[in-house]
Amino acid sequence: MKNKWLYILFVLFVFMISSCIKEEAPNVEADIEDIMIPDMSSVTNIKIDQNRVSVFLKSGRVDRTNLEPSFVLSDGATIAPVSSGKLDFTKPQKYIVTSENKQWSKTYTVVFLETEIPLIYRFEYWVTDRWDEVYEHSVENIGGEDISIDQFIWASGNLGFSLVVKGGPKDFPTFKATSVDVHSGEGAACLKTRKTGSLGAAQGMPIAAGNLFLGEFTSKGINIMKEPMKATHFGVPFCKKPTAMSVWFKYDGSNVNMSYDNKGDGTIFGDGRDYCAVYAVLYDNVKAKNLYGVSYLDGNTILKEDTDNPIIAIAGLHEQIDNADQYGTNGEYKHRIFNFKYRDGKSIDPDRLKNYEYSLAVVFSSSFYGDRFIGGVGNTLWIDDVEIVCDEN
């Protein structure tokens, strides 16, 4: 009888404990985190934005008219159409992702592209959703028909800025310049160093330099507030040998270079002169994967100086003996051509180049050390008419 009562008390205890444990709330995220196809060796790059998935393919390797991708989603999320079978991805396809709690949904446009990234950038095409974003417009011939292709290969830190500061596109660090501030055409990229307000300062991000780069800015797998340098994924796979970068730029670096604390207060940094970043990096993305576990360079590794790193060559303003323009151009656009300087002992393997085992990163910023939250608030860089010159062989 005693054992019976002990058993009853034990059951009641377990019931009380289990009743006190609340079930975990359903997940509210509705994201596509990854995308896969049967032949992943044909994929050169995947870029997943807030509402777009762009998959870049090696030419002629995948039948895009008869393709069924699979997706990795946020925990508990669902996607529609659930099983649409094979679709024609020579045109964009739409998917709707719904969160586990069924309260949130997001529509994604999914595109598969064989188009090579352009070598000339005019910064004419911009789209505004929650932040300004520049994209490239190109044409791909599909079945004898020229199809317009939008390539979202540029990224900026506007997403991170939008998390701590409210405002429209003209309040962001990176936005479209027009009228007198373009070199040619109707648009240019304008990059401006801004304060992030009390909230940004409290998070250890007191300023945000305007920046623009080939690659991806993402919060996937990291905390942007704690590890902002890891959010910048620099570079896209490239199959040509670059020899030089031609750039038209204008820079106003007249505001004092400052280092800021978590209250937003600044002290003069160095000699007080801020300067812009205008450079390109060619690197070995296979070696990057082996060294860092990822096939790209980030804010911590993009300009590493040690010999055992993936960087093959650099072309940039700060690399030049005559680099006075990095401090300011007196209100005028300047044209500069920067040759790629190969690091000691580094070279390109032609066979690996054809297989997209190298990546090209092009980086612009209104404050060179803006990623370390050092810069002159108000300093502004305009970029237009950029060309990557490549060896014809």
Rounded Cα distance between 253 and 28, Å, is: 43
CB 257 within 8 A of CB 193: no
| 95 and 160 belong to one structural domain | no
Domain boundary among 96, 114, 132: 114
User: Residue 50's beta-bridge partner residues?
Assistant: none
Same domain, 225 and 359: yes
What phi and psi values does residue 354 have, to the nearest 5 degrees? Answer: -65, -25
> Chain centroid to CA 77: how far?
24
* Mean pLDDT to the nearest integer, 103-122: 90
Question: What secondary structure letter does DSSP report for 24?
Answer: P
Q: Are residues 98 and 126 in the same domain?
A: no
Average pLDDT score, the chain = 87
| Diameter of the chain measured on Cα atoms | 96
Residue 3 lies in a domain: no
At which of 114, 129, 156 does a domain end?
114
**87 & 153 share domain:** no
Q: Does 191 share its domain with 339?
A: yes
- In a shared domain, residues 76 and 125: no
Q: Which domain holds residue 58?
A: 25-114
Structure confidence by residue, pLDDT tens digits, 211-232: 999 999 887 777 777 788 888 9
Let me know whether 208 and 339 are in one domain.
yes
User: Is residue 337 one of the residues assigned to a domain?
Assistant: yes
Provide φ and ψ at 254, rounded to 5°. Answer: -75, -20
Whole-number Å distance between alpha carbons of 325 and 40: 44
Q: How far is CA 241 from CA 15, 174, 291, 357, in A?
A: 68, 29, 23, 12
137 falls in which pLDDT band (50, 70, 90)? confident
% the chain with pLDDT above 90 = 54
Rounded to 5 degrees, φ, ψ at 36 are -140, 150
Tell me, yes or no, whether 84 and 150 share the same domain. no
The C-alpha angle 195, 197, 199, rounded to 5 degrees, equals 135
Q: Residue type for 197, please?
A: G
The residues near 185 (Cβ < 8 Å, ≥ 6 apart) are 122, 123, 124, 384
**Cβ burial, residue 210 (10 Å; 0-12/13-18/19+):** buried
8 assigned to some structural domain: no
Domain total in the chain: 2
* Structure-derived torsion over alpha carbons of residues 289, 295, 296, 297, reported in degrees to the nearest 10: 0
Please check whether residues 88 and 163 belong to one and the same domain: no
Q: Is residue 41 domain-resident? A: yes
Look up the CATH number of the domain holding residue 102.
2.60.40.2340
* pLDDT beyond 50 at 21: no
Asked if 92 and 147 touch (Cβ cutoff 8 Å), the reply is no
pTM reported for the whole predicted model: 0.84
Confirm whether 302 is domain-assigned.
Answer: yes
